[in-house]
Amino acid sequence: MWVENLQQEVERLKELNTHFVLKNGEIIYQIENGYLCKLKAPEGTIVELRDNKGI
């Protein structure tokens, strides 16, 4: 899912005690076309947040 400001959205979700899936100890990490973070929904679904609309 694309978000306009990934860092701001992560900070907002941290306040809600969201469970993030870490990679190398980081919440936000660089991928080929931008930045990505993953979080785990209460029912176990993994949701990806990206800062690049094109993916």
Alpha helix stretches (DSSP H) within the chain: 6-15
The predicted model scores a pTM of: 0.85
Q: 46 pLDDT exceeds 90?
A: yes
pLDDT of 4: 94
Please say if the pLDDT value at position 14 is more than 90: yes
CB contact at 8 A, 9 and 51: no
Length of the chain: 55
Percentage of the chain surpassing pLDDT 90? 89
Whether the Cβ atoms of residue 39 and residue 46 lie closer than 8 Å to each other: yes
